Structure 1
Amino acid sequence: MKQLEALKKRLPPGIDIRINSKNVITFRARFRRTGHPDLMKTFADAKAAKGWLNEQQRNLDLGIYLPNALASKKTFAEAVTRYYKEELPKKGN
């Protein structure tokens, strides 16, 4: 248990340790930002969880952040319509 507590202290905010009924340790990353829905994903190791959190923050900083929940609500027809209206005029001819 002491090792588990020491590991918890080394993890960055947003990553929790979870132990399932088979005593398997997993790491749950939670990306939370004001004005955006929470995103959560579970990983087998802490390094992957940290990488995912960094990727979500980088996407938000670059302005390409689109949560999976919002992306899955878009239909293909809506995506094509948006492309025709917003992206195609930028391309010219």
Structure 2
Amino acid sequence: MKILNKCPICGGKLEYNTLCQYTNVYYVKKNGDLTKQRKRKEDNGPMDCSFFSCINSDFLTDCELNVTVPKDSKIIISQINGRYYIL
């Protein structure tokens, strides 16, 4: 088990996107926590979902934290005590 704190594909910076009426986009720190200050706020209308994305577009999850990019990935993400891990 390894802390998810960077892109598992390219090692680039990860973003954690929380979609509500406004999307709050945060960076993922080296210890696996999310930054307290958001990177940006976007208006997307009403929804409720969160996902991870690589700033280099090499890695992406859906709202259930299933890896969608790259396709056929064997990466499994789990949340334990508020932190995210790769299994």
Provide the TM-score with structure 2 as the length reference.
Answer: 0.26
Q: Which is helix-richer, 1 or 2?
A: 1
**Quick one: higher RCO (CA 8 Å, sep 6+), 1 or 2?**
2
Q: Which is strand-richer, 1 or 2?
A: 2
Provide the TM-score with structure 1 as the length reference.
Answer: 0.25
